[in-house]
Amino acid sequence: MSRKLAVWHSQRAISEKEAADVYQELYEQQRIPSLQHVDVYAFYNELIARYPDVDTLADEDIDASPWASSFDRSGFHIIMFMLEQRADEVVPVILELAEMYGLVCFDPQTKKLHLPSNLAQVAPGS
């Protein structure tokens, strides 16, 4: 069983409903962003430095990975699929990096939105 988390670049604070809508469009590939954001790229590089993408691992190293599959990503977003048993280890790292790079983080299982502090100060009502 896997758990999903998504991060993306946002110019403004969004509500949980807006985040759920954006996530659904990204997940179903109804929205395929072509914009490139340096903060998403930096997040990705930092994350794979800690936990390499499964696509880059040798077969004998895959069992040590926290990822259930490769990432769904663009220059605007990353959807991560992690093994449920590794979520307690990996989720705090994802949240820390999302904050560091000013990215929205959305948990589709719980519909919980994590706004980075630079956006949370002006967050709309959910």
Say how far apart CA 35 and CA 111 lie, in whole Å. Answer: 25
The reply to whether the predicted model has a pTM over 0.85 is yes
Residue 10 within a domain: yes
Residue type, 4: K
Q: How confident is the model over 40-95, as pLDDT tens digits?
A: 999 999 999 999 998 888 888 888 899 999 999 988 999 999 999 999 999 999 99
Output the DSSP codes for 93-120. HHHHHHHHTT-EEEETTTTEEE--HHHH
Q: How many domains does the chain have?
A: 1
Residue 125 within a domain: no
Among all chains, which residue has been given the structure tokens 């699929």? 81
Closest by Cα among 2, 13, 11 to 113: 13
Residue 76 within a domain: yes
Among all chains, which residue has been given the structure tokens 């560091």? 100
Residue 64 within a domain: yes
Range of the domain at 54: 2-120
